[in-house]
Amino acid sequence: MCTAAPAMAVPQSKLDQARTVKAQIDRLDNRVEYAAERYNVASSRHAALAVKQRRAAARFTKVKKRQQVVQRHLRVRATSMYRQGPMGFLDVLLGAQSFEEFSATWDLLKDLNTDDAEAVAELKTLRAEAKKARADLTRQERAAARQVAIMRANRRSIESQLAERKAKLSGLEAEIARLDAAEEAARRARAASFVSNSGGANFDSFPAPTRAPRSEVVDVAKRYLGAPYVWGAAGPNSFDCSGLMMFVYRQVGVSLPHSSRAQIGSGERVSRGDLQPGDLVFFGSPIHHVGMYVGGGMYIHAPHSGDVVKISALDRGDYAGACRP
């Protein structure tokens, strides 16, 4: 009778140690994932503010140019009045040959003065508004930039902790791999059981009119299986979770923001029972992770630092909803 060699057995203490360290790593992965989402939100906000600021600056420039035109016009008028002396306008009026000509000349001079006054008042108002708008947007942009800086610092801190924790895995790689494989096998078994128990009426059996080609977008996503997770990345060689969805959907003509929290508002909300391949699935409260449903109770996603784009069972306990872009 053959028995396993004692040397091949994994000491229980080592497995317990591996489980403890893996739990620590998993918690840190969630913190890094959440920080990455905050970073993406801040970056998107910063980009939007920058666009608004450029528009405000362009409007201010336009107003300023118009003001310069009016100022030149007023200088010419003032110079003319100075040269003519105080009797200039009176001479024009008294030179009229009839009452009708006098009346028309008087109305014209009044209109010219009124138009000039209105133009100057308008330009002053526009200039004040443009300056205020530009100042407000500059403050908002600086605030967003500070937020991005804070997010970057937060990410560096968390990733430093993550690296420290992973250093503790030295000598436990094989045990961790076994634990991961067992967990993934269990998740896949649960997903297969769910589909089987549904009597064949699984998620994929429902018709779904959509704007994006469903099979095409899933095929595109699968091309990037194995690509490494990098926070803030949006392809083509590395991704974070929302960056992967944004990059893939862009290739089928659908624009998505680089934020899982924003992406859930980028399409029709669908229930879990109505999921179709290509739908986006979201996790966390607040939302900080997103993937793409591929059918059969599975989804493709970029999980976290140290991992790669892969297909996993859709059985996370923090499932938050889904949408159809």
Q: Which two tokens stand for residue 124?
A: 């002053």
Cα separation, 242 vs 237, whole angstroms: 14
The answer on pLDDT for 81 being more than 60 is: no
Residues pairing with 269 in the sheet: 323
pLDDT of 211 reads: 47
Average confidence (pLDDT) over 162-187 = 71
Catalytic residue among 241, 258, 288, 304: 241
Q: What angle do CA 233, 161, 230 make, to 5 degrees?
A: 10
3-state secondary structure the chain: CCCCCHHHCCCHHHHHHHHHHHHHHHHHHHHHHHHHHHHHHHHHHHHHHHHHHHHHHHHHHHHHHHHHHHHHHHHHHHHHHHHHCCCHHHHHHHCCCCHHHHHHHHHHHHHHHHHHHHHHHHHHHHHHHHHHHHHHHHHHHHHHHHHHHHHHHHHHHHHHHHHHHHHCCCCCHHHHHHHHHHHHHHHHHHHHHHHHHCCCCCHHHCCCCCCCCHHHHHHHHHCCCCCEECCCCECCCCECHHHHHHHHHHCCCCCCCCCHHHHCCCCEEECHHHCCCCCEEEECCCCCEEEEEEECCEEEECCCCCCECEEEECCCCCEEEEEEC
Catalytic residue among 258, 288, 301, 304: 301
At residue 324 the predicted structure's pLDDT band, cuts being 50, 70 and 90, is very high
Contact between residue 233 and residue 36 where contact means Cβ atoms under 8 Å apart: no
Cα separation, 304 vs 325, whole angstroms: 23
The answer on pLDDT for 199 being more than 70 is: no
pTM over 0.75: no
Active site residue 258: no
In the block, which residue shows the tokens 């133009």?
A: 119
Task: Quote the mean pLDDT of the chain.
Answer: 75
Active site residue 46: no
Contact between residue 293 and residue 276 where contact means Cβ atoms under 8 Å apart: yes
Average confidence (pLDDT) over 132-139 = 75
Active site residue 323: no
The answer on pLDDT for 131 being more than 80 is: no
Q: Which domains does the chain have, with CATH numbers?
A: 12-167 (1.10.287.620), 205-324 (3.90.1720.10)
The answer on pLDDT for 194 being more than 50 is: no
pLDDT tens-digit series, residues 300-320: 999 988 789 999 999 888 999
Cα separation, 27 vs 9, whole angstroms: 28
284, HSE (Cβ side, Cα atoms, 13 Å): 22
Name the residue among 81, 80, 85, 102 with its Cα closest to residue 93: 102
The answer on pLDDT for 105 being more than 80 is: no
Report the relative pairing of strands 310-313 and 298-301 from DSSP bridges: antiparallel
Contact between residue 241 and residue 39 where contact means Cβ atoms under 8 Å apart: no
Catalytic residue among 46, 258, 288, 289: 289
pLDDT tens-digit series, residues 115-127: 666 665 666 776 6
pLDDT tens-digit series, residues 222-238: 999 999 998 889 989 99
pLDDT tens-digit series, residues 5-62: 444 445 667 677 777 877 877 787 777 788 888 888 878 877 887 787 778 777 777 7
pLDDT of 79 reads: 63
Average confidence (pLDDT) over 118-137 = 70
pLDDT of 224 reads: 95
